[in-house]
Amino acid sequence: MMSDFSFSSNPVIQELERIRQEQIDESSSNLQSNLIYFNLIIFILSSALSYYFARRTLMPIEQSMEAQNRFAADASHELRTPLTVMRSEIEVALRDNKFNLSDAKKLLNSNLEETAKLESLSKALLKLARLDHNPRADFKRVSIVEVIKDAFEKVEKLADQKSINIVCHTPKDKSNMKLRGDRESLVELMVILLDNAIRYSPKKSKIEIITYGNEKMVEIRIVDQGIGIDQSDIGHIFDRFYRADQSRNKDNIDGYGLGLSIAKSIVDLHGGTILAKSSLGEGSEFVFTLPSSQ
């Protein structure tokens, strides 16, 4: 005869069943909390990574907007200064009852100087704006020796006024001294570097132009015996509107700090590099290298 027996009614088995259920509950709640932590970590990590990559992508845009804002602020400041000078001179003259013809001439001469400053500043700003839009269309085969000659003719008078001797060393074989570029801009590049070398050099000093070319590149070095550039300034001189302190204070040399940024834009446009080396009080050397064309 069979006895009436059921597993579920067995207390031992029931207890085992209960323990097993408890273990299942515990591990499922452990799994749940682990999943929550895991998801939380993934969420935090992905948010941090997205933030990092978004900042990395936006940084150059932010920097370029900041640079543009700074440039606009600096440009308007520089444009306003001559206008303020002219306005206050005219106002003083209008209030002066004893204002005579000779005073009028002085006033006009001073106004003329200020308008010349405005003209040169607006020319520099226009040049920078044009270079920013990459005008490679005018590129032709250019001899760098001819470029140096043209630039020399433009600064010769200024050098003579300070009895500065400009010496140019060119190789006998000039076949490597050719490149594809915009002749007018390259002359401007040489004029900027020579004009600086003259303005920041003492009277009766020497400026050397040393040229070198091979089948890959053309290298031009402009070496002066001028006031030199402090090491703390040398990293900034190609920035727009940057002027080293000694150029502002010493002989009060006029300038807007735009020449070298135009020079750098011209070199960039031709796919080259430019750098400056200097010892304060001893002189400076500007070296630019451009790809040559046979």
Residues forming a β-bridge with 209: 168, 222
Closest approach, Cβ 72 to ligand ADP, in A, equals 18
Q: Which residue has the tokens 């451009």?
A: 290
Q: Is 187 in the site for ligand ADP (CB under 6 A)?
A: no
CB 189 within 8 A of CB 196: no
CA distance linking residue 193 with residue 159, whole number of Å? 13
Distance (Å) of CA 266 to CA 101, 131, 193, 199, 236: 46, 7, 12, 21, 17
Using the rule CB under 6 A, give the single segment among 43-51, 138-146, 171-179, 224-232 that binds ligand ADP: 224-232
Q: Is 255 in the site for ligand ADP (CB under 6 A)?
A: yes
Distance (Å) of CA 7 to CA 12, 14, 40: 9, 8, 44
Using the rule CB under 6 A, give the single segment among 7-15, 62-70, 112-120, 227-235 that binds ligand ADP: 227-235
Closest approach, Cβ 156 to ligand ADP, in A, equals 17
The residues in 77-96 that bind ligand ADP, with binding defined as CB under 6 A, are none
Helix (H, G, I), strand (E, B) or coil at 119: helix
Q: Is 224 in the site for ligand ADP (CB under 6 A)?
A: yes
Closest approach, Cβ 86 to ligand ADP, in A, equals 21
Q: Is 288 in the site for ligand ADP (CB under 6 A)?
A: no
Using the rule CB under 6 A, give the single segment among 15-23, 97-105, 160-168, 252-260 that binds ligand ADP: 252-260
For ligand ADP, the closer of residues 229 and 267 by Cβ is 229
CB 13 within 8 A of CB 7: yes
Rule CB under 6 A: choose which of 176, 225, 247, 265 binds ligand ADP: 247
Rule CB under 6 A: choose which of 127, 154, 174, 243 binds ligand ADP: 243
Beta strands in the chain (DSSP E): 140-143, 165-169, 178-181, 206-213, 217-223, 273-279, 283-291
Q: What are the DSSP calls for 19-70, one per residue?
A: HHHHHHHHHHHHHHHHHHHHHHHHHHHHHHHHHHHHHHHHHHHHHHHHHHHH
Q: Is 229 in the site for ligand ADP (CB under 6 A)?
A: yes
For ligand ADP, the closer of residues 177 and 191 by Cβ is 191
CA 47 to chain centre: 33
CA distance linking residue 68 with residue 55, whole number of Å? 19
Q: Cα–Cα–Cα angle for 195, 238, 114, nearest 5°?
A: 55
Q: Is 144 in the site for ligand ADP (CB under 6 A)?
A: no
For ligand ADP, the closer of residues 176 and 225 by Cβ is 225
For ligand ADP, the closer of residues 181 and 256 by Cβ is 256
The residues in 191-210 that bind ligand ADP, with binding defined as CB under 6 A, are 196-197, 200
Q: Is 284 in the site for ligand ADP (CB under 6 A)?
A: yes
Binding region for ligand ADP (CB under 6 A):
196-197, 200, 224, 226-229, 237, 242-244, 247, 255-261, 284
